[in-house]
Amino acid sequence: MRITRIETIPVQVPIRPELVIWGSLGVHASSPFVLVKIHTSEGNTGLGEVSCTPVWSKRAGATFDSSPTTPGF
């Protein structure tokens, strides 16, 4: 089995108003996530997600390329 395609889907998940976080780093009213779909040569599809919130992911300077990629293996 080989990975044939990887899809990345950026999403913004709004936080219910009563759960919005107000702090010294600003207001946290929505959470950015990336959904990942991995396709295989046998027709299987796997799903995953990652939080892109800088405070939690520690990737404040990271950029996101939403173009689908296919690994070269």
Q: List the domain range (segments joined by +) for residue 20.
A: 3-57
| CATH at residue 27 | 3.30.390.10
Task: Work out how many domains the chain is built from and give that number.
Answer: 1
Among candidate residues 10, 57, 52, 15, the one with its CA nearest the CA of residue 35: 10
Cα–Cα distance for residue pair 30/17, rounded to 1 Å: 10
**Structural domain contains residue 50:** yes
Cα–Cα distance for residue pair 19/35, rounded to 1 Å: 23
Q: Where do runs of H (alpha helix) occur along 1-73? A: 54-57
**Structural domain contains residue 73:** no
Q: Which helix (H) or strand (E) holds 16?
A: none
Q: Is the pLDDT of residue 59 over 90?
A: no
Q: What is the mean pLDDT of residues 27-41?
A: 91
Under the banding of pLDDT at 50, 70 and 90, the label for residue 53 is: confident
Chain mean pLDDT for the chain: 79
Residue 46, φ and ψ in degrees, nearest 5? -110, 145
Top pLDDT among 52 and 71 is at 52
